[in-house]
Structure 1
Amino acid sequence: MQYRTLGKTGYDVSTISFGAWAIGGTWGQVDDAQSVAALHRALDLGINFFDTADVYGDGHSERLIARLRRERPEPFLVATKAGRRLDPHVAGGYTEANLRGFIERSLSNLEVEALDLLQLHCPPTVLYGQPEVFEVLDGFVQEGLLRHYGVSVERVDEALEAITHPNVATVQIIFNAFRIKPAEQFFTAARAANVGILARVPLASGLLTGKLRADTPFESDDHRAFNRHGEAFDRGETFSGVDYAAGLAAVERLRPLVPDGITLAQFALRWILMFPEVTCAIPGARNPQQVESNAAAADLAPLTPEQMTAVQAVYDELLRAHVHPHW
C-alpha cells in the first residue's frame, strides 16, 4: 500500500481507501457478515481511510465502521458526510442547529468523540457562496466536534468555489477515466490551496470493472436501476453520468490497454493515481475479495505515457460530449 498526505489535514492516507456507500444501501442486497469481513480485510492490507455518510443505510454504514473500531486495535481514519438528511434538501437547511444534530448523530453512530473529517454532502450550489455556513463548521472545529471539514461536490465549479473558504481541507469529487474534467479545471487550484482530493465513484458505478453488459440485471433498490436519469439524486452519481451504452462501448476501447495479469478495474484505479493531486481513490467493496482486488492497484507500476494518451482519446472521442458540459 502507498500513502499520500490529505491536504491541510496532515493525515497520511492509503491511496486506495474504502468507500462505504455500498455496505450501507442502494446497491442491492447487502450482507453484513461480508461487509464486516471486507472492512477487516481492508485494515489487513494497509487501508487506513474509510469514507461513509449518515444517509448510507440511514446510518448503517457508520455503525458497521464503529463495529470495526471495536474489533480492531489499530488506528484508522473515518470521513463522514452531513446534509442529505434534510427534506427538502435546500441550502437554507444548513443551519447551525441542523448541522449540529447531524454531527451528534454521526458521533453516536461511529462511537467517537470527534469526527476525523466531516464533509458537506453535495449541498445545493448556492451554499458554496454562503460563508456563514463555513463559519459554523469552524465553530464546530473549535468545540472539538470535528477535527477537519471538507465538501463532497457534484461539479467542478462547486469545487472551485468551495476552496475559496480557507479552512476547507478536502474536496471529494467524481473522478475517473469517464470524468476527466476535474484534472483539466480543478486540480491545479486544489494543489495551490493545499486541498486534499478524494476521487469518488472511481469505477463509474461498476462500468470500469468491465463486468457489466447490456443485459446485466440490477436489483430494484440499486441506484443503477432507478437513477440513470437522475430520478432520485444527481444522475452524475450513477455511471458517472455516462449513457450506459456509450459507457459499455468505451470499456471495449479500454480493454486492449490493460496489461496481462491485472484487471480493468485495477487499471482504472491506477490511472487515477497517476495524478499526484489526488490523495486517494475510494472504491466501494462488499466482500474481502473486492477489497483485495482494489488494494492491489496501489502497488502497480505506473501507466505508460502511451496508455495515458489512449485513455484520454477514448474520453475525448466517446464520452466528453456526454459529461463535460454538465459537471
Structure 2
Amino acid sequence: MQYTTFGNMDLKVSKLGLGGAPLGGVYEETDKAEIQRMIHEAIDLGINIIDTAPIYADGESERRIGQALTGGKREHIILTTKAVRSDRSYDYASTINSVEDSLVRLQTDWIDLLQIHDIEVQAWDMIMEETIPALQKLKQAGKFRYLGASSRNLPLLMKYMKTGLFDCIQFYTRYMLIDHTAKEEILPLAKEMGIGVINGSVLGMGVLADAPGHFLKDEVVIEAKRRVDMLDFLRKSEPKGLIEPAMRFSLSHPDIQVTLTGISTVNALRMNVAFCDGVGLPEQELQEVYRLFDQQKLLTDPDYTK
C-alpha cells in the first residue's frame, strides 16, 4: 500500500480508500458479514481511510462501518463522513443533529474529516450563514478535526475552496478515463492551497467496469459508452479490462491523495489493492487519454442520474 501526506492536514493517508455507499448496500443487496470481513481485511492490507455519508442507505453505511471498527480498530482509521443529507435542509440545527447522529451510528467520539455533502444542492448563503457556523461549533467541541466539501460541480467547488475554510475537497466522475476535467483548474488550485483531494467514482458509476448503474440517465450512458469505445487500446486480456487502467489513472496522479474504491466483496478489495504499487499508465497511453477528452466534461452538472 502507498501512503501520502493529506494536503496540509496532519495525516498520512493510504492512496486507496473505501467508499461507503456500497458498504451500506446502496446499489445492490450486500451481505453484512462480508462487509465486516472486507473492512477488517482492508485495514490488514494497509487501507486507513473510509469515506461514508448519512444518506447512504439511510445511515446503514455508517452503522456497518461503526460496527466493523469496534474492538480497537477505530484508532487505525481516518474516518470521514458528510455533514447533512442532500435531501434535507442544511440549516444550523439540522447540521448539528446530522453530525451528532453520525457519531452515534459510527460508534465514535470524533470524526477525522467532516465534509459538507453535495454543496450544489443548497444555496451559498445557507451554507455560509448556517451550515459552517454549526460546523465551527462542533469542531470547537472536538467532534471533528478537519473540514471538507464535496461536489461534482467544479466551478462551485472552486468558489468554496477560495474561502480558505476547507482542508479537503471531494469530487467524483471528474478525474476518470472519460472525463478528466478536474486536472485543468481544481487539482492545481488544491495543490497551491494545500487542500487534500479525494477522488470518487473513478469507474464512472460502473460504466468503466462495463456495468453502468441503472440509475444513470440514458443520454449519460450513451455518451459514456461512446467514449469507452475509444479506449479499446487500454483493454487487456482480463475481464472488464478497464478497471485496472481506470484505477491506476487516478492512483498515480501526484495531486490526488485518495482514490475511493466502491466495492462490497473481499475479492474485489484484493484486486484493487494490487493496483496500489505506484505504477500508472504507460506515458504514451496516458497522453492519448488526455488528448482524446481534453477539457471535455461528460455532459452537464449536476444531473447524471434519473
Q: Normalized against structure 2, the TM-score is what? A: 0.88
Question: Number of paired residues?
Answer: 296
Aligned to 2:253: 275
Aligned to 1:163: 161
Instruction: Find the partner of 2:221 among 244, 249, 256.
Output: 244
Helix, strand or coil: the match of 1:278? coil
Aligned to 1:253: 230
Query: Aligned partner of 1:53: which letter?
Result: A
Aligned to 1:95: 91
For the Cα contact (< 8 Å) 2:84–2:95, is it kept in 1? Answer: yes
Once residues 279 and 237 of structure 2 are traced to their aligned partners in structure 1, the CA distance between those partners, rounded to angstroms, is: 13
1:227 to 1:243, Cα distance in 2 relative to 1, 3 A: closer
Q: CA deviation at 1:102?
A: 0.4
Once residues 118 and 176 of structure 2 are traced to their aligned partners in structure 1, the CA distance between those partners, rounded to angstroms, is: 18
For the Cα contact (< 8 Å) 2:251–2:278, is it kept in 1? Answer: no
After superposition, residues 48-87 of structure 1 pair within 5 angstroms as 48-71=48-71, 73=73, 75-84=76-85, 86-87=87-88
Aligned to 1:26: 26
Q: CA deviation at 1:130?
A: 5.0
Query: Aligned partner of 1:103: which letter?
Result: V
Aligned to 1:284: 262
Q: Deviation per CA, 1:240-259, whole angstroms, max 9, x where unpaired?
A: xx721332233233232246
Once residues 164 and 98 of structure 2 are traced to their aligned partners in structure 1, the CA distance between those partners, rounded to angstroms, is: 23
Deviates more, 1:294-303 or 1:145-154: 294-303
Deviates more, 1:74-83 or 1:104-113: 74-83
For the Cα contact (< 8 Å) 2:178–2:298, is it kept in 1? Answer: no
Aligned to 1:41: 41
For the Cα contact (< 8 Å) 2:90–2:122, is it kept in 1? Answer: no
Instruction: Find the partner of 1:302 among 280, 294, 300.
Output: 280
**Percent identity over the alignment?**
25
Aligned to 1:90: none
Aligned to 1:108: 104
User: Structure 1: which 5+ runs fail to align?
Assistant: 88-92, 217-223, 230-241
Once residues 72 and 286 of structure 1 are traced to their aligned partners in structure 2, the CA distance between those partners, rounded to angstroms, is: 22
Q: CA deviation at 1:49?
A: 0.3
User: Structure 2: which 5+ runs fail to align?
Assistant: none
Aligned to 1:220: none
Aligned to 2:214: 225
Q: CA deviation at 1:86?
A: 4.5
After superposition, residues 193-232 of structure 1 pair within 5 angstroms as 193-209=193-209, 211-212=210-211, 224-228=213-217
Helix, strand or coil: the match of 1:277? coil
Q: Deviation per CA, 1:142-186, whole angstroms, max 9, x where unpaired?
A: 111111110111211121111123231110001212221111121
Once residues 86 and 222 of structure 2 are traced to their aligned partners in structure 1, the CA distance between those partners, rounded to angstroms, is: 33
Q: Deviation per CA, 1:48-101, whole angstroms, max 9, x where unpaired?
A: 1000001111111111111111156461111101221643xxxxx322211110
Once residues 251 and 140 of structure 2 are traced to their aligned partners in structure 1, the CA distance between those partners, rounded to angstroms, is: 33
Query: Aligned partner of 1:226: which letter?
Result: F
1:47 to 1:103, Cα distance in 2 relative to 1, 3 A: same
Helix, strand or coil: the match of 2:25? coil
Q: CA deviation at 1:300?
A: 4.8
1:267 to 1:16, Cα distance in 2 relative to 1, 3 A: same
Query: Aligned partner of 1:13: which letter?
Result: V
Aligned to 2:5: 5
1:313 to 1:128, Cα distance in 2 relative to 1, 3 A: farther
Indicate the RMSD between aligned Cα atoms, in angstroms: 2.4
Helix, strand or coil: the match of 2:21? coil
Q: Normalized against structure 1, the TM-score is what? A: 0.83
RCO comparison, higher one (Cα < 8 Å, 6+): 1
Once residues 223 and 190 of structure 2 are traced to their aligned partners in structure 1, the CA distance between those partners, rounded to angstroms, is: 30
Aligned to 1:126: 123
Helix, strand or coil: the match of 2:57? coil
Q: CA deviation at 1:313?
A: 3.1
2:296 corresponds to 1:320: yes
